[in-house]
C-alpha cells in the first residue's frame, strides 16, 4: 500500500522546510557571505509583518498591500544599485517568495546561480519553490545539482526522498532515506529518515 497523499503533504511541509533550513545553515560556512537563517526570515521584522506576531491583529488589508509594495520597491532599488551584491539579491528574492511572487523570486535566485552555481542555499530555495508549485522534476533537478558538487549533502538526499515519495515512487524514496540512516543514524536527519521509512510500505 502506498503512502496516503494527505499524509505525505502533512509531513512534507514541515520536514522539507526543516531540511531546507538545515541546508542553508550548513552552507553558511562554505559561502563567502552568510545567507542567514530562513526560519527567521519567514516572518520579517518590518512594519508590514510585526503586527502578525504574538497573536496580534493583522494590519488593514489596504495598508498592508501599500506597505508591502513600498518595501519591495525599496529592496528592488537597492538591488538595482548593487547588481553584484548577491546578499542583497538573495534578500530581495526571499521577500518576493514570501510575498507570493515565486516566478519573480526564481529570476533573482537564478541571477545568483549565474555568479556562483555552487550556492547550495539558493539551490535549496529553488527546489522548495518548485516543490510547492508541484513541478517535481525541477525540484529534483536542483537537489541533484547540489549532489554533483557535494555528494555528502544528506539534506539534498533527504529531500530527494520526499520528492520521490510525493510522486508515489516509494522504492526510490526508500533508497534515499535508507542511505541517510546508514550514514548518520543518530543525527536529527537520520531520525527523520528512519521515521519516514516507517511510514512507507
Average pLDDT over residues 68-87: 82
Residue 54 lies in a domain: no
Give the Cα separation of 31 and 35 in Å (integer).
Answer: 8
Give the pLDDT score at 201: 65
Q: What is the pLDDT of residues 30-41, one digit of tens each?
A: 333 322 222 223
Q: What's the alpha-carbon Rg for the chain, to the nearest Å?
A: 18
The enclosing H or E element of 164 equals helix 154-167
Residue 153 lies in a domain: yes
- Expressed as residue numbers, the domain containing 64 is 5-49+59-198
Neighbours of 163 (CB within 10 A): 23
Looking at every residue in the chain, the average pLDDT score rounds to 75
Share of the chain above pLDDT 70, in %: 68
Number of separate domains in the chain:
1
Q: Of the ranges 37-41, 91-95, 182-186, 188-192, which one carries the lowest mean pLDDT score?
A: 37-41
pLDDT over 80 (residue 134): yes
Give the Cα separation of 165 and 170 in Å (integer).
Answer: 5
The enclosing H or E element of 51 equals none
CATH of the domain at 190: 1.25.40.10
- Inter-axis angle of helices 102-115 and 86-98, to 10 degrees? 160
Give the pLDDT score at 80: 86
Give the pLDDT score at 108: 94
Give the Cα separation of 171 and 105 in Å (integer).
Answer: 33
pLDDT over 80 (residue 27): no
Which DSSP symbol is given to 44?
-
pLDDT over 60 (residue 109): yes
Amino acid at each position: 500500500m502506498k503512502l496516503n497523499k494527505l499524509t505525505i503533504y502533512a509531513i512534507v511541509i514541515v520536514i522539507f522546510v526543516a531540511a531546507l533550513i538545515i541546508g542553508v545553515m550548513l552552507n553558511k560556512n562554505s559561502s563567502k557571505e552568510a545567507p542567514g537563517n530562513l526560519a527567521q526570515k519567514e516572518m520579517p521584522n518590518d512594519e508590514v509583518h510585526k503586527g502578525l506576531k504574538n497573536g496580534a491583529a493583522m494590519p488593514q488589508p489596504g495598508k498592508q498591500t501599500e506597505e508591502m509594495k513600498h518595501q519591495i520597491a525599496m529592496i528592488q532599488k537597492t538591488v538595482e544599485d548593487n547588481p553584484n551584491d548577491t546578499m542583497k539579491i538573495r534578500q530581495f528574492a526571499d521577500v518576493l517568495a514570501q510575498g507570493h511572487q515565486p516566478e519573480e523570486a526564481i529570476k533573482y535566485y537564478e541571477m545568483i546561480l549565474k555568479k556562483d552555481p555552487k550556492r547550495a542555499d539558493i539551490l535549496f530555495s529553488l527546489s522548495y519553490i518548485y516543490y510547492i508549485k508541484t513541478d517535481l522534476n525541477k525540484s529534483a533537478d536542483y537537489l541533484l545539482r547540489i549532489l554533483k558538487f557535494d555528494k555528502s549533502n544528506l539534506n539534498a538526499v533527504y529531500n530527494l526522498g520526499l520528492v520521490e515519495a510525493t510522486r508515489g515512487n516509494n522504492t526510490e524514496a526508500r533508497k534515499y532515506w535508507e542511505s541517510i540512516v546508514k550514514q548518520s543514524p543518530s543525527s536529527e536527519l537520520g531520525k527523520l529518515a528512519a521515521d519516514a521509512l516507517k511510514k512507507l510500505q
